[in-house]
């Protein structure tokens, strides 16, 4: 049995903790929780967790303390109250230097941000990207496996946060591209909701932007590399369609700066000379 403490029972923290509570009811986990809001604490105790009155009390009864709070300052506040807990697992997305800052205080820290949102937290299918020592990762792994189906030891302390930031760069740049595409579609007289349905449908089939992320390096491709032919095809299609989209945007008077940036960068970014 692993003794887990959980701090921060918000939109993602609460369903994560509920996954642990389900295991607690079967005797695999001893779960204690703390939050400043009483409602989520009540929901967790009803699900089988034990409520404690402070972060310090939580640390006293846990081997692993998982933290899912709003920002770096709240993470620091929690860390100050924890003391020498064996493993502090930071699920919040923090600045790249924050995990090392906390470790310098003598704490054993894992940075373990998550991807998958409230939906993934609720059904236990989160991706969890972990940075830190192997020993700390092994100690926390039983709890992490209850909350996610893709748990990756990304490397030393800070690696989990760096991986999350790279992943979210894709996420939010893609969101911005969607807003650009919506302006173009709207000017062309199209139904934006149907466009959204098409995007979600086809991304579920093709893998979306992650479909190109299979190489181990971003170095230029050798002529005999398997991916050279694949990405030459991708670049040819992309450059053609981007050119058409930019031409349509010019015709309709729509500003598409991301498309204009992407056109000359696509092939080179894929590793083509």
Selected catalytic residue, list 50, 150, 164, 268:
164
Tokens of residue 250, six digits: 């010019």
Q: Is 240 a catalytic residue?
A: no
**CA-based torsion, 138, 144, 148, 154: positive or negative:** negative
Tokens of residue 27, six digits: 């005797």
DSSP string for residues in 63-102: SEEEE--SSHHHHHHHHHHH-S-SEEEE-S---TTHHHHH
Tokens of residue 98, six digits: 């924050």
161 Ramachandran zone, left/alpha/beta (phi>0; psi -120 to 50)? alpha
Q: Catalytic residue positions?
A: 164
């Amino acid at each position: 049995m692993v003794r887990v403490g959980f701090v921060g029972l918000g939109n993602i923290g609460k369903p994560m903790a509920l996954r642990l509570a389900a295991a607690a009811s079967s005797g695999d986990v001893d779960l204690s929780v703390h939050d400043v809001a009483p409602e989520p604490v009540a929901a967790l105790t009803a699900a089988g967790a034990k409520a404690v009155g402070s972060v310090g009390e939580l640390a006293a009864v846990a081997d692993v303390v998982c933290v899912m709070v709003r920002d770096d300052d709240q993470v620091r506040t929690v860390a100050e109250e924890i003391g020498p807990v064996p493993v502090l697992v930071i699920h919040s997305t923090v600045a790249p230097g924050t995990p090392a800052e906390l470790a310098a205080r003598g704490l054993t820290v894992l940075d373990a941000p998550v991807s998958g949102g409230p939906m993934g937290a609720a059904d236990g299918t989160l991706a969890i990207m972990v940075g830190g020592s192997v020993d700390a990762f092994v100690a926390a792994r039983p709890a992490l496996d209850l909350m996610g189906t893709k748990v990756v030891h990304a490397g030393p302390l800070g690696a989990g946060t760096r991986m999350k930031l790279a992943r979210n760069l894709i996420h939010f740049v893609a969101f911005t591209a969607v807003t650009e595409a919506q302006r173009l579609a709207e000017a062309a007289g199209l139904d934006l909701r149907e466009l959204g349905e098409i995007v979600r449908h086809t991304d579920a089939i093709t893998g979306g932007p992650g479909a190109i992320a299979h190489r181990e390096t971003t170095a230029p491709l050798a002529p005999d590399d398997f991916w050279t032919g694949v990405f030459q095809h991708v670049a040819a299609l992309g450059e053609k369609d981007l050119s058409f989209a930019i031409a349509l945007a010019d015709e309709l008077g729509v500003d598409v700066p991301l498309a204009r940036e992407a056109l000359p960068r696509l092939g080179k970014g894929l590793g083509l000379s």
